[in-house]
Amino acid sequence: YNLRASAQNDDRNLDIGEKSTIIYKVGARYKQYCSNVGRTMFIDPTPQMEKDYRILINIYLACNKILKPRTKICDVYKTAIGVIKRSNKKLVDKFVGCGFGMGLEYRESNLVLGEKNAQLLKTGMVLNFSIGFENLEDKGKKYAMQIADTILITTDGARLLTPVKRAWKEVAAFTGDDDDDDEDDDEPARQTFSNHYEERRRRRMEEEVSSRRQMEVEKERRELARKNREDLLRRLAKDTMEKTFDQKKSVDFSKIQSYKSVSDFPIDARPNQIYVDTKRETLLVPIFKQLVPFHVSTIRSTTKSEEGNHTVVRINFATPGMHFKNTNDYIKAVPQDRHFVQELTFKAAAGAASLERSYYKIQELRKRVRTRMKEKQDKKSLVIQKELKQIRSGGVPKLRDLSVRPPITRRKSTGVLEAHMNGLRFTSSRDGVKIDIIYDNIKHAVYEKSEHTTEVRMHFQLVNPIMCGKKKTDFLQFYIEVVSSSQDLGQGTRWHDADGVMEEQEERRRRKKYNRLFFEFKNKVSSVSEKYNKERLEFEEPFRPLAFKGVPHKEQVQIIPTTSSLVALDDKPPFCLSLGEVDVAVLERVMFGLREFDMTFVFRDYHRDPLRITAIPKKKLDEMKTWLQTTQILHYESRDPANWKAIMTHVREDVKKFATDGAWDSIFGDNKEESGEEMDDSASEFEPDDGESEADEELESAESEVDDDDYDDDEDELDSEEEGEDWDTLAAKAKAHDRKKAREGFGEEERRPSKRR
| Least trusted range by pLDDT, from 105-114, 207-216, 588-597 | 207-216
Q: pLDDT for 709-730, tens place per residue?
A: 443 444 444 344 444 456 667 7
How does residue 354 score in pLDDT terms, banded at 50, 70 and 90?
confident
pLDDT of 707:
44
End residue of a domain, out of 130, 149, 177: 177
Whether 199 is covered by a domain: the verdict is no
Q: pLDDT for 174-197, tens place per residue?
A: 775 444 444 444 555 555 555 666
Domain count, the chain: 4
C-alpha–C-alpha distance, residues 300 and 253, integer Å: 13
Residue count of the chain: 757
Q: For the whole prediction, is pTM greater than 0.75?
A: no
pLDDT of 747:
42
The answer, yes or no, to whether residue 202 has pLDDT greater than 80, is no
Would you say 44 and 18 are in contact if contact means Cβ atoms under 8 Å apart?
yes
Q: pLDDT for 263-298, tens place per residue?
A: 888 888 888 888 888 888 888 888 888 888 888 888
How does residue 735 score in pLDDT terms, banded at 50, 70 and 90?
low
Whether 387 is covered by a domain: the verdict is no
Would you say 290 and 275 are in contact if contact means Cβ atoms under 8 Å apart?
no
Residue type, 463: V
Would you say 703 and 592 are in contact if contact means Cβ atoms under 8 Å apart?
yes
pLDDT of 599:
95
| 3-state SS track over 29-40 | EECCEEEEEEEE
Whether 582 is covered by a domain: the verdict is no
Would you say 19 and 43 are in contact if contact means Cβ atoms under 8 Å apart?
yes
CATH code (residue 48)? 3.90.230.10
Give how far Cα 16 sits from Cα of 2, 143, 174, Å.
Answer: 17, 12, 11
The DSSP string of 166-223 is --HHHHEE------GGGGGS-HHHHHHHHHHHHHHHHHHHHHHHHHHHHHHHHHHHHH
Q: How many CB atoms lie within 10 A of CB 467?
A: 13
Statement to judge: residues 372 and 428 lie in one domain: no
Q: How many CB atoms lie within 10 A of CB 728?
A: 8
pLDDT of 349:
83
pLDDT of 172:
86
Q: pLDDT for 526-541, tens place per residue?
A: 999 988 887 888 899 9
Statement to judge: residues 87 and 151 lie in one domain: yes
Statement to judge: residues 52 and 138 lie in one domain: yes
Statement to judge: residues 366 and 403 lie in one domain: no
Statement to judge: residues 42 and 78 lie in one domain: yes
Tell me the three state secondary structure of residue 1. Answer: coil
The answer, yes or no, to whether residue 484 has pLDDT greater than 80, is no
Statement to judge: residues 732 and 703 lie in one domain: yes
The answer, yes or no, to whether residue 362 has pLDDT greater than 60, is yes
Statement to judge: residues 103 and 38 lie in one domain: yes
How does residue 740 score in pLDDT terms, banded at 50, 70 and 90?
low
Mean pLDDT within 106-114: 87
End residue of a domain, out of 347, 381, 415: 381
Q: Which domain holds residue 273?
A: 256-381
Which candidate, 599, 446, 624, places its Cα nearest to that of 547? Answer: 624
Higher pLDDT, 577 or 243: 577
Q: How far is CA 416 from the centre of its chain?
A: 31
Whether 549 is covered by a domain: the verdict is no
Q: pLDDT for 637-666, tens place per residue?
A: 888 899 999 999 988 888 888 888 888 888
CATH code (residue 461)? 2.30.29.150
Mean pLDDT of the chain: 79
For CA atoms 729, 730, 735, 739, give the dihedral sign: positive
Statement to judge: residues 421 and 527 lie in one domain: yes
Give how far Cα 441 sits from Cα of 132, 394, 424, 433, 529, Å.
Answer: 51, 25, 11, 20, 13
pLDDT of 78:
93
Whether 600 is covered by a domain: the verdict is no
Q: How many CB atoms lie within 10 A of CB 598?
A: 19
Statement to judge: residues 474 and 536 lie in one domain: yes
Whether 69 is covered by a domain: the verdict is yes
Mean pLDDT within 49-61: 92
